[in-house]
A and B are shown apart, each in its own frame.
Chain A
């Protein structure tokens, strides 16, 4: 084809493309909903009282809410199980749940057609940071329709979620206040665990020091050649345990003097331990599979006892496989022991979910029934709602003891132990957690699998809050955020390379590459932002 002919053929295509592009950019979204205000909403049709939740006085029937949860796994059924049936009855409310992922959420925003209630799972996301554009301020809504909300909402949590305009738009689940940490309601979920039979077979070992750890792994390898001596959580994604869980075990500080951001990844002691794991890996103590196994594969290996020892994080998520293994092999179950400690005598600083919590729920400015929505928030946050969601109906599924703790009734316990399907589908106890809270779960010792209780208790004394450094990364969409995400990606590969390095020289070289990468990726600007955010966090906490 000659050039002339080619250009004649391509020209119409190029023109058509141009037309298509200009029409697209002209497409705008009418964000009419951004203008709605609480003051323009109609007054309550019932008497709103400060000392009584509004759902008790609001007798309207047939209320409907469309509730979007940004998680595919969320169970969308409503009114079929014991828990949601009761919520439905008490509130006269029908909820239609819709689930999806970020792409679905984006289409909602772009389409200008928001659901009544929106729950997202990332407190640091742009949707949360710009909530003042699309959600009603909760306290204003409460003042108008349900003043009791401020009695059930935690003040520290509200302050934590206050945006620059002084208002709170979303309320999180599992937001653990400093009070909760002190009360003992929070359980540790990080620990160095080892199979009981392995521990007995290898004799006394000191896993706390680097030399002792290596000797221990060697002993395991000799006695149990079929097991992987040392394992850790899924390497990809957020729950890996060789990153912050390891730093917490070593008590690496989160801040340097004057509340400045401290780069824990470059802490000397942490790096020394990584070097130890490198040696363990070289001697066959860490399986190469461990770097590639996803969460499901990790769980399967855990439930078949494939690991002799593990640095485990996020115990709650792993309690099913740990319990599965323990039920079949009671004398081989995993137990927490002292291990992986700081050589400078720093205590572990194990941490759990902080004030940011987990899921965050908002009432959108397009909500068709904002009074019912805030009532639902109040209901689910109240003692009554929490007891229902966590334990079902008193007398039927649980009993309260004189010391305030909760026990299952014989009937409920039988179903719980012998019919997991029915327990999940007909009762749905402990699963409707959009406003869940650890302190309620802690009321019942049976909320946790037996096999993890020793591990939880073992880490309990080391629990520490890390509020100062929560959500201090640069805001999504900024240059610094992009640089920071490049750094995180680089770190993920660096961490694997460090642990798999063949020699000390390789280890040092990989580390040097990472340091150089930091230097050329705006690390100074990122740290300025982090320091600023640490100050902001401290201000919120009143420190």
Chain B
């Protein structure tokens, strides 16, 4: 398409639609966007406000611009290590979890697998019943996973929800394709690795994204099983900072006349921005792969 013809096509399209519809549509969209953007904007602005100007109600521009909230959060010496742990556990977790679930889902998608119904009944059971916090703790303890990086990865390897999603993707791979590969002498591993996995990229991307977000946000695992601060992910470190800021603002006795640079809410707001920032930065890129993956799947499937 040449550069000149593109606007022409666009203007033609607009002429065809009703101007009333366009106006209503645009207004609704703008209102809806505002509904989402305004609270986020308020959080961003408040996080850049000095402690004294918070509490003035909802503002859209900082009354007294200040970086104190960020300074107090980023001054924490363990922040970079925590960021590394978060990235590492998300990266490693996504790869292992996706691979593990795919390895389970592939045979489960085959009708000729013996005992398939029993496996699926067992799998479904895990969706409705869990051991509960204390038995799980005992299990993790006896596996020797307390205070270990692998407690983020191993207990999270398997999810039957994700297996079901993957099974559905694997089932869409045409049987004829698998048959012909078999005739050419490929074994199940070869079929899985060279045919089924590449054709199911959208499914794998979905699972990867689900698990990635879950890993990034999870801090309960750390709270229950990790005492070693060098294994704290970002979420837990920020949780700690907020808790301590609360203690500082309550400890009037030792602070005397000193006016604190930050308030608990200020710190909390800046941590919100810090946690969502990496996702905000990454999402456009991840989403591009995600979308093209889906399309590729749609064409080939």
Contact B254 A303 (CB under 8 A): no
> Is B134 positioned at the interface, with any CB of A under 8 Å from its CB?
yes
Least CB distance from A443 to B in Å reads 12
Contact B224 A420 (CB under 8 A): no
Contact B252 A316 (CB under 8 A): yes
Kindly supply a per-residue 1/0 record for chain B positions 246-275, scoring 1 wherever the CB is within 8 Å of any chain A CB and 0 otherwise: 111111111111111101110010000000
> Is B129 positioned at the interface, with any CB of A under 8 Å from its CB?
yes
Contact A110 B51 (CB under 8 A): no
B72 to A, closest residue via Cβ: A421
Report B-chain residues with C-beta under 8 Å of the C-beta of A324: 51-52, 259-260
Contact A12 B243 (CB under 8 A): no
Give the CA-CA distance A202 to B135 in the complex, in Å.
64
Report A-chain residues with C-beta under 8 Å of the C-beta of B55: 297, 300-301, 303-304, 306
A98-121 interface (Cβ within 8 A of B): 98, 100-101, 103-104, 106-107, 110-111, 113
A10 to B, closest residue via Cβ: B121
B31-60 interface (Cβ within 8 A of A): 51-52, 54-56
Known A296-B265, A320-B250: A24·B259 in contact at CB below 8 Å: no
Contact B258 A16 (CB under 8 A): no
Least CB distance from A377 to B in Å reads 22
B137 to A, closest residue via Cβ: A107
Contact A20 B138 (CB under 8 A): no
Contact A72 B240 (CB under 8 A): yes
Contact B253 A441 (CB under 8 A): yes
Q: Which of A128-136, A213-221, A447-455 contacts B (4 or more CB under 8 A)?
A: A447-455
Contact A446 B256 (CB under 8 A): yes
B265 to A, closest residue via Cβ: A296
From the candidates B137, B244, B254, B268, name the one contacting A73 in the complex (CB within 8 A): B244
Known A319-B252, A441-B253: A16·B56 in contact at CB below 8 Å: no
From the candidates B118, B122, B133, name the one contacting A107 in the complex (CB within 8 A): B133
Contact B125 A13 (CB under 8 A): yes
B138 to A, closest residue via Cβ: A111
> Is B172 positioned at the interface, with any CB of A under 8 Å from its CB?
no
From the candidates A15, A104, A328, A420, name the one contacting B255 in the complex (CB within 8 A): A420
Give the CA-CA distance A315 to B224 in the complex, in Å.
34
Kindly supply a per-residue 1/0 record for chain A positions 67-91, scoring 1 wherever the CB is within 8 Å of any chain B CB and 0 otherwise: 0000011111000000000000000
Contact B121 A110 (CB under 8 A): no
A324 to B, closest residue via Cβ: B259
Least CB distance from A289 to B in Å reads 10
Least CB distance from B57 to A in Å reads 9
Report B-chain residues with C-beta under 8 Å of the C-beta of A301: 55
8 CB < 8 A contacts A-B: A9-B121, A72-B243, A107-B134, A296-B268, A318-B252, A320-B249, A320-B251, A418-B258
Nearest first, the 8 closest Cβ-Cβ pairs linking A and B are A319-B252, A300-B55, A430-B254, A12-B121, A73-B247, A73-B243, A110-B134, A72-B243
Chain B residues engaging chain A, CB cutoff 8 angstroms: 51-52, 54-56, 72, 75, 117-118, 121-122, 124-125, 128-129, 131-135, 137-138, 141, 223-224, 227, 229, 239-240, 243-244, 246-261, 263-265, 268
Chain A residues engaging chain B, CB cutoff 8 angstroms: 9, 12-13, 15-17, 20-21, 24, 27, 29, 72-76, 96, 98, 100-101, 103-104, 106-107, 110-111, 113, 296-297, 299-301, 303-304, 306, 315-321, 323-324, 327-328, 416-418, 420-421, 423-424, 429-431, 441, 446-450, 452
